[in-house]
Amino acid sequence: MPPRNHPSERQRRLGAELRKLRTRARMSGDEAGALLDADRTRVSHIEAGRVDVPRNGLYKLLRAYGCPDGPYFEALMEMAQSRGVGWWDEFRDVMARVALDLAEVESRATSIRIHEPLCIPGMFQTEEYAHTVMEAVSPDIGPTDRFVQFRMARQRVLAGESSIPFHAVIHEAALRVRVGGPEIMRKQMRKLIEVARMPNVTIQIFPFERGAYPAFSRPFVLFGGPTRELDTVYIEHSLKIDFLGDGADVDDYSKMFERLVDLALGPVDPETAPESHIGRDSLSLIQHAMYEL
């Protein structure tokens, strides 16, 4: 089978991890190829995610690279065996490869931490809000129904038996930017409060008065992997999207997120009675912004 031109993020990440392990083991591409009865070109394709490595071949590589038994070893074996098939396949006709990759990464995550400076995170959006955002950001996209359906389908990671910890720090600007009319915004803020009732969801608002802050104007998502080595940072730039798996990058963004958590208002707690609030918290700021519409 010829090398694939567009490997998925999972395939790219598996290849990157194998390259990292081979480099640490100080093995050449020729030496790794000999373990697979192949040449260095095939090893290069494997490490770029362009071709698959059979289970027995992967086992040989991991042993030769000195990867110890444990969760990381098993996670790499599982990544190689995964077909990457999921609910997102029904959207392949309209969604770009990177959007499908995002859905697959979300489905495999053990935790999600997100910072969003300008709009409500897609995981919390109402259909009306999502429609309005897409029509404004991509006016040439055509009918947005299927794109909104995809965004709504992604929200399934928040609930159900496979629900995972989800922590969001949202800048106050996202509450103030008028997306659609007042009723769309009111409904969106009510949904924020409803989502915060989920036991696995934490929502904090970063207020204007805190001034400049870590990750200024930079949205990012931290996906927890089955092991710390497989954590991933997702960053949206104006012209491209990056998935970062380097440990130093993950550490930097993790520290940045913790700083945001420390500086943001206390988490939304919809069960707390208004009279018990001490000072301003995230819930009171959302309610204030909603009543000002």
Of residues 53 and 213, more confidence is placed in 53
Domain with CATH 1.10.260.40 in the chain: 9-81
- Report the distance separating Cα 278 and Cα 284, nearest Å: 10
Nearest to 112 by CA among 10, 9, 237, 202: 202
Please give the pLDDT value at position 279.
60
Cα 108 to chain center, whole Å? 10
Is 77's pLDDT higher than 80?
Answer: yes
For the stretch 191-246, pLDDT in tens is 999 999 999 999 999 999 988 877 766 899 999 999 999 999 999 876 778 999 99
Quote the mean pLDDT of the chain.
91
Is 60's pLDDT higher than 90?
Answer: yes
Q: What percent of the chain has pLDDT over 90?
A: 79
Helix, strand, coil abundance in the chain, percent, nearest 5: 50, 10, 40
Is 84's pLDDT higher than 80?
Answer: yes
Q: Which two tokens stand for residue 28?
A: 């050449």
Identity of the amino acid at 12? R
pLDDT category of residue 112 using cuts at 50, 70 and 90: very high
Is 275's pLDDT higher than 60?
Answer: no
Is 140's pLDDT higher than 80?
Answer: no
| Torsions phi, psi for 168 (to 5 deg) | -120, 135
In the three-class reduction of DSSP (H, G, I as helix; E, B as strand; rest coil), residue 235 is classed as: strand
| Contact criterion met (CB below 8 Å) for 28 and 38 | no
| Contact criterion met (CB below 8 Å) for 117 and 174 | yes
- Report the distance separating Cα 205 and Cα 220, nearest Å: 15
**Single pTM value for the model:** 0.93
Please give the pLDDT value at position 163.
83
In the three-class reduction of DSSP (H, G, I as helix; E, B as strand; rest coil), residue 184 is classed as: helix
| Torsions phi, psi for 215 (to 5 deg) | 65, 30
CATH numeric code, 87-291: 3.30.870.10
Please give the pLDDT value at position 274.
55
| Contact criterion met (CB below 8 Å) for 236 and 94 | no
CATH architecture of 9-81: Orthogonal Bundle (1.10)
Of residues 143 and 163, more confidence is placed in 163
| Contact criterion met (CB below 8 Å) for 265 and 210 | no
Which of left, alpha, beta for 140 (phi over 0: left; psi -120 to 50: alpha)?
Answer: alpha
Domain with CATH 3.30.870.10 in the chain: 87-291
